[in-house]
Amino acid sequence: MQIQENISLKLYNTFGIDAMSHYFATFTNEDELEELLSSDPRLKTLILGGGSNILLTNHFDGLVLKNEMKGIHEVHEDNEYVYVKAGAGENWHQFVLHCINRNWGGVENLSLIPGNVGASPMQNIGAYGVELNDVFFSLEAYHVHEKKILTFSRNDCEFGYRESIFKRMYKDQFVILNVTYQLRKHPIFNTSYGAIEQELERMGVEELSIKTISDAVINIRSSKLPNPSEIGNAGSFFKNPEISNEQFSMLNVQFPTIVGYPLPNGNVKLAAGWLIENCGPEAGISWKGYRVGDAGCHSRQALVMVNYGNATGEDIFKLSDRIKVSVKENFSVDLEREVNVI
């Protein structure tokens, strides 16, 4: 355990933003974390996982602490479930594969989401009809001021769409150390979302399993989303906005192709990618595929902002602001950023 000075974070964030951190260290257990946090209590800190959901808009004048707490253990089982505890520093997709190999069901639809286990409840990650919330059992987190470890149940986390208590009320107060997931010993297949069925058919799958669902999800994701090792990005930059059914009906009259999904509460969730694709910097030009220097809006998925090489976080943030204003002007809808702006 060593504190390094003036480190570039370029390799530690999937946007590939070349911001510097004044101090940088990794930790593999609670004792190291405690020691690092007490090295200079006045320093501001940033807990980092895989860096796949942050936008660094400036140099970080504090201490970046990269969580490398590892380990995957079965802690309990009953007739239906197995309870599996994973260290926050485990790679998420490797954890998914670990579960698939043992036929533990629940996380297969969340295959190939970049990042680490620790951020999964923080963000309440979701894809293809499943949210982390659906398989979450508990987590342990270290309170940075009170210097003690607390256990959080599903209710305590106050999960919402890409939301949890750790992004709101407890922002910057806890370091998530490990997460326990409740996985099915007899998996229930969830193929109803989006293009999964179609992809399974294209693949010629005859016998459904969590492995084939995972493979289908991987194929769909790879065809749409840019690979951060080729083009810097952090997945969806904005959330899909929720509006009332009345507002949706009015928009639908004016824009018959607008995409929205009814929610159980009567509201409608709009596809932000459609909104962004269907307006632009000037008449007849779409934001989709638009580029200013090295900052851009992806050409195959308008919800994804990209760094073609040397964009700064500020370049990307400024372009995202223009998109936000444009969506508001054209559709009277507010977009909220999903990415954590640092």
Catalytic residues, by residue number, are 162, 236, 338
H/E/C letters for each residue in the chain?
Answer: CCCEEEEECHHHCCCCCCCEEEEEEEECCHHHHHHHHCCCCCCCEEEECCCCCEECCCCEEEEEEEECCCCEEEEEECCCEEEEEEECCCEHHHHHHHHHHCCCECCHHHCCCCCECCHHHHHCCEECCEEHHHCEEEEEEEECCCCEEEEEEHHHHCCECCECCCCCCCCCCEEEEEEEEEEECCCCCCCCCCCHHHHHHHHCCCCCCHHHHHHHHHHHHHHHCCCCCCCEEEEECECCCEECHHHHHHHHHHCCCCCEEECCCCCEEECHHHHHHCCCCCCCCCCCCCEECCEEECCCCCCEEEECCCCCHHHHHHHHHHHHHHHHHHHCCCCCECCEEC
Among 47, 63, 86, 303, binds ligand FAD (CB under 6 A): 47
Cβ atoms of residues 44 and 35 within 8 Å: no
| Subset of 229-268 contacting ligand EPU (CB under 6 A) | 235-236, 239-240, 259
Q: What residue 288 binds from ligand FAD, ligand EPU, none (CB within 5 to 8 A, per partner kind)?
A: ligand EPU
- Count other C-beta atoms under 10 Å from residue 4's C-beta: 12
Beta carbon nearer to ligand EPU, 128 or 290: 128
Among 111, 182, 233, 326, binds ligand FAD (CB under 6 A): 233
Q: How far is the CB of 111 from ligand EPU (least distance, A)?
A: 10
Residue 270 is which amino acid? L
The CA-atom distances, in angstroms, between 333 and each of 134, 251, 275 are 29, 10, 9
Q: Which listed range, 18-26, 100-108, 202-210, 300-308, lies at the site for ligand EPU (CB under 6 A)?
A: 300-308
Considering only 227-235, 275-283, 306-314, 325-333, which stretch makes contact with ligand FAD by CB under 6 A?
227-235
Partner in contact with 259, chosen from ligand FAD, ligand EPU, none, beta carbon below 5 to 8 Å by kind: ligand EPU
Residue closest to 295 by CA, chosen among 237, 221, 227: 237
Amino acid, res. 97:
L
Is residue 127 involved in binding ligand EPU (CB under 6 A)? yes
Q: Is 194 in the site for ligand EPU (CB under 6 A)?
A: yes
- Counting contacts by CB under 6 A, is residue 21 touching ligand FAD? no
Closest approach, Cβ 81 to ligand FAD, in A, equals 23
Stretch near ligand FAD under the rule CB under 6 A, chosen from 22-30, 143-151, 174-182, 279-287: 174-182
Could you tell which of ligand EPU, ligand FAD, none binds residue 114, using a CB distance below 5 to 8 A set by kind? ligand FAD
Phi, psi of 5 (to 5 degrees): -115, 145
**Which of 116, 267 has the CB closer to ligand FAD?**
116
- The entry of ligand FAD, ligand EPU, none near residue 119 (CB within 5 to 8 angstroms by kind) is ligand FAD
Question: Interface with ligand EPU includes 26 (CB under 6 A)?
Answer: no
Partner in contact with 115, chosen from ligand FAD, ligand EPU, none, beta carbon below 5 to 8 Å by kind: ligand FAD
Among 14, 178, 180, 191, binds ligand FAD (CB under 6 A): 14
Query: Does 115 engage in binding with ligand EPU (CB under 6 A)?
Result: no
Amino acid at 22: H
48 binds ligand FAD (CB under 6 A): yes
State the binding string over 114-143 for ligand FAD (x if CB under 6 A, else -).
Answer: xxx-xxx-xx-xxx----------------
- The residues that touch ligand FAD, with contacts defined as CB under 6 A, are 14, 46-54, 67, 88, 113-116, 118-120, 122-123, 125-127, 174-176, 225, 228, 233-235, 340
- The residues that touch ligand EPU, with contacts defined as CB under 6 A, are 127-128, 194, 224, 235-236, 239-240, 259, 271, 273-274, 277, 288, 301-303, 338
